[in-house]
Amino acid sequence: MSEKTFRLEVITPDRVTLADDDVVSVVAPGAEGYLGVLANHAPMMASLGIGKLNYRRVNGETGVMALGGGFLEVYDNTASILAECAEPAENIDIARAEESKKRAKQRLAAGGHDIDVPRAEAALKRAINRLKIAKQP
Amino acid sequence: MASTKDIRRRIRVVKNIEKITSAMKMVAAAKLRKAQERAEAVRPYADKMRAVMGNLSASVGEIDHPLLQVREVQNAAYVIIGADRGLAGSYNANVMHKAINDIEGRDAESVKLVLIGSKAISFFRRRRYEIAAEFDPPGSDVTFADIREVTRKTRAMFESGEVDAVYLVYARFVTAMRQDPTVVQLLPMSAPAEDPDSARADYIFEPKADVMLGTLLPRYVDTQLYQAFVESQASEHGARMTAMTAATKNAGEMIDNLTLQYNKARQAAITTEIMEIVSGAEALN
């Protein structure tokens, strides 16, 4: 018996990063811990944090993406992820990520009143996340 | 009648202008296509966002959130998106006049402006309104992060009670030929319209619906502003393209007219010359 599939969409403000009808499972970085979605999941909405999105297609292919926060809606066998940024692991520019990690660190270290600490922290987290995912085999 | 030399000079000048306008037209057309693609790329995100918001608010019911707080409007902020460059036909003027029309109904002291683009800034500097912030328009590769500064500023103004409403003025992109300057209320957000079939499912929320709505609302504001940015960029290039097409056409017509004039002048000069020679020869007889 073939596995049940559902549709996965990853949408960012600048484009539809992924739209795939033959997905069997998704693991997304929920704000309160990773959560898994299979076909025929109950309707759900969840906030997503910064982390790794894993999905597996019916033909066995898997995909990994770096997510930079957003949220997930599951309805009618469609999982839609609205993310502020989403990068497939193979597209991550390591040099750029290193660069932004360094920049965020400098900003945090410099301190002062005119910096937005939560924002710099989030930038740092996103950069570290991208690096972690890119470097995984 | 102007001398042939003058006319020739004018033709050369107009030809130069024509070269420039037609180059600008080409550039604007290329940029327009890119901007249009971007404007279309935001749409799925924005639409989905709206749908989700509708679902959420249907599930939460009465919502209490600082961004939704409706107060009596005494002070208002206007976010006005203009361009950095002119030569885009009436693009800037249209947006500014739309804004002025709306602002004039209020007390000058109660209005605070958040201006984007040097054309907007120079237009309002000469007027008596208070400018709360000025921003450069983000380039053609505007990202979500770029507009954060703007949303943060406007949100802070609203949340601190400095203003009771925030309006956004920008040119909505309809077609390359048509841009509609529009005013929309950014804050307080009108509670997202409940989707009629949103009661369709009992969602599982993680975290709780009201917490989620709290995190989503600011992002919704960001999205709206981002969309406005991208659209106004497409509008600007559209307006410039239309203006430059017209300018190129006018220059072409002008060259035709001048060429005609030049030929007439030349012919008249030749006729006079012949007349002189003939009458000179005649006198010798």
ipTM reported for the complex, 2 dp: 0.78
Q: State how far the Cα of A55 lies from the Cα of A37, in Å rounded to an integer.
A: 9
The C-alpha of B205 sits at a distance from chain A's nearest C-alpha, in angstroms, of 5
The verdict on A117 touching B (C-beta cutoff 8 Å) is no
B112 inside domain: yes
Which residues of chain A lie closer than 8 angstroms to B58, CB-CB? none
Lowest mean pLDDT among A12-26, A118-132, B10-24: A118-132
Residue of A45, A77, A87 to mutate, testing the B interface (most B Cβ within 10 Å of its Cβ): A45
H/E stretch holding A100: helix A94-110
The verdict on B215 touching A (C-beta cutoff 8 Å) is yes
* Number of domains chain B is built from: 1
Q: Which of B11, B10, B36, B20 is nearest to B231 (CA)?
A: B36
Which CATH number belongs to the domain containing residue B131 in this structure?
A: 3.40.1380.10
Segments of chain B assigned E as strands: 76-81, 111-116, 130-135, 165-173, 179-187, 204-206
Give the model's confidence band at A115: pLDDT under 50 very low, under 70 low, under 90 confident, else very high: low
B161 inside domain: yes
Q: Nearest by CB to A11, from B44, B55, B202: name it.
A: B44
Q: State how far the Cα of B87 lies from the Cα of B241, in Å rounded to an integer.
A: 10
B279 inside domain: no
Model pLDDT, residue B262: 94
B254 inside domain: no
Per-residue pLDDT of chain B (285 residues; tens, 9 = 90+): 568 889 999 999 999 999 999 999 999 999 999 988 888 888 888 888 888 877 777 777 666 777 777 888 888 899 998 888 888 888 899 999 999 988 888 888 888 899 988 888 888 888 888 888 888 876 666 777 778 788 888 888 888 888 898 999 999 888 888 889 989 888 887 655 555 555 556 788 888 877 888 888 888 888 888 888 888 889 999 999 999 999 999 999 999 999 999 999 999 999 999 999 999 999 987
Give the model's confidence band at A112: pLDDT under 50 very low, under 70 low, under 90 confident, else very high: low
The C-alpha of B204 sits at a distance from chain A's nearest C-alpha, in angstroms, of 4
Q: State how far the Cα of A20 lies from the Cα of A65, in Å rounded to an integer.
A: 14
Q: Nearest by CB to A46, from B49, B152, B206: name it.
A: B206
The verdict on A11 touching B (C-beta cutoff 8 Å) is yes
Read off φ and ψ for residue B126, nearest 5 degrees: -80, -5
Look up residue B106 and give its amino acid: R
- The range of the structural domain enclosing residue B203 comes to 25-242
Model pLDDT, residue B258: 95
- Residues 6 or more apart whose Cβ sits within 8 Å of residue A105: A124
B18 inside domain: no
Q: Which of A71, A86, A78, A68 is nearest to A126 (CA)?
A: A68
Neighbours of A107 (CB within 10 A): 18
B11 inside domain: no
Determine, for residues A45 and B49 on separate chains, whether the beta-carbon distance falls below 8 Å. no
pTM: 0.80
Q: Nearest by CB to A13, from B45, B207, B211: name it.
A: B45
Q: Is B284 helix (H, G, I), strand (E, B) or coil?
A: helix
Q: Structure tokens of B246?
A: 């017209």
B13 inside domain: no
* Cis ω before B207 (30° cut-off from 0): yes
The C-alpha of B248 sits at a distance from chain A's nearest C-alpha, in angstroms, of 34
Domains and CATH numbers, chain A: 6-89 (2.60.15.10), 93-135 (1.20.5.440)
B220 inside domain: yes
The C-alpha of A88 sits at a distance from chain B's nearest C-alpha, in angstroms, of 18
Is the pLDDT at A137 greater than 80? The verdict is no
Which residue in B has a C-alpha nearest to residue A83's C-alpha?
B45
